[in-house]
C-alpha cells in the first residue's frame, strides 16, 4: 500500500480520494491580494496640487531602490474645483525620466502601506510636483476624458520597475482651464516576497 506522509515529522498522512487524487484545501489569491496580506503593497499619493495654467506640470515621480521588482498596477488621477472652459487634458507617463525640477527640487510624497496593521516600508524615492514643476525624458501621451468627466479616474498601468528604474507623471490641462486642484497616485506591489 502506498502512502504520502508528512515530511514535518508530525506523523500526518495525506488524504486520497477514490480516484487516487490527493485531497487539498487551497486559497486562490491574486499577487496583489497575497502581497497586501504580507504588507507588501503601497499607495503612493501626492497632496492636493493647485494648477493655474494650461502648461505641462510634473506631478509624481517614483524610483525603485529595492533589490526586487516593483509592480505599478494602477494610476489614479483625481480633479476637483476646475475653473474655465472644459476640454481634453493630456497625461504623460515618463519611462526612466532624465531630469527636471520634479527630481532636482524634490518634495516627498505620501507612502501608505495598504495593510494597515503592517509596519513595513518600501525603499523608493517618491516626489510630488505641482504648478510649474518640470520633467524630461522619453514619454507616452494619454489623452484623458474631459476635465469635467475626470473628477476621479483610475486605470490599469501594469509597469514593472526593476531596481534603479523610475517613472513619472505629468499633466497638461485644457487651454481653457484657469485653475484646478488635483491629486495623482500609484498603487504598487513589491514583488519577489515570500508569499
**Domains in the chain: ranges and CATH:** 42-190 (2.60.120.680)
Model pLDDT, residue 194: 43
Which residues touch 75 (CB under 8 Å, ≥6 apart)? 93, 154, 155, 157, 169, 184, 185, 186
Q: Give me the mean pLDDT over the 109-129 stretch.
A: 97
pLDDT surpassing 90 at residue 189: yes
- Average pLDDT in the chain: 89
Q: Give me the mean pLDDT over the 20-32 stretch.
A: 75
**Angle at 148 (CA atoms; ends 60, 62), nearest 5 degrees:** 10
Q: Rounded to whole angstroms, how far apart are CA atoms 54 and 174?
A: 6
pLDDT surpassing 90 at residue 25: no
pLDDT in tens, 71-118: 999 999 998 888 988 888 999 999 999 999 999 999 999 999 999 999
Contact 49, 113 (CB under 8 A): no
Instruction: Name the residue with higher pLDDT: 183 or 4.
Output: 183
Confidence of residue 57 (pLDDT cuts 50, 70, 90): very high
Q: Rounded to whole angstroms, how far apart are CA atoms 98 and 59?
A: 15
Q: Give me the mean pLDDT over the 2-24 stretch.
A: 76
Confidence of residue 13 (pLDDT cuts 50, 70, 90): confident
Helix (H) or strand (E) holding 155: strand 152-161
Contact 92, 184 (CB under 8 A): no
Q: Rounded to whole angstroms, how far apart are CA atoms 103 and 94?
A: 12
CB atoms within 10 A of CB 112: 12
Amino acid at each position: 500500500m502506498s502512502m504520502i506522509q508528512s515530511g514535518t515529522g508530525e506523523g500526518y498522512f495525506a488524504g486520497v480520494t477514490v480516484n487516487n487524487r490527493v485531497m487539498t484545501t487551497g486559497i486562490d489569491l491574486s499577487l496583489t491580494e497575497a502581497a497586501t496580506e504580507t504588507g507588501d503593497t503601497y499607495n503612493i499619493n501626492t497632496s492636493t496640487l493647485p494648477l493655474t495654467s494650461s502648461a505641462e506640470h510634473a506631478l509624481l515621480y517614483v524610483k525603485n531602490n529595492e533589490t526586487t521588482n516593483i509592480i505599478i498596477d494602477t494610476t489614479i488621477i483625481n480633479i476637483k474645483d476646475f475653473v474655465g472652459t472644459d476640454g481634453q487634458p493630456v497625461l504623460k507617463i515618463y519611462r526612466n525620466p532624465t531630469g527636471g525640477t520634479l527630481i532636482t527640487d524634490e518634495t516627498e510624497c505620501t507612502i501608505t502601506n495598504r495593510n494597515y496593521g503592517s509596519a513595513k516600508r518600501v525603499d523608493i524615492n517618491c516626489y510630488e510636483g505641482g504648478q510649474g514643476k518640470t520633467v524630461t525624458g522619453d514619454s507616452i501621451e494619454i489623452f484623458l476624458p474631459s476635465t469635467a468627466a475626470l473628477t476621479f479616474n483610475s486605470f490599469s498601468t501594469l509597469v514593472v520597475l526593476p531596481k534603479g528604474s523610475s517613472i513619472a507623471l505629468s499633466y497638461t490641462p485644457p487651454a481653457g482651464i484657469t485653475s484646478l486642484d488635483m491629486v495623482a497616485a500609484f498603487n504598487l506591489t513589491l514583488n519577489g516576497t515570500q508569499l
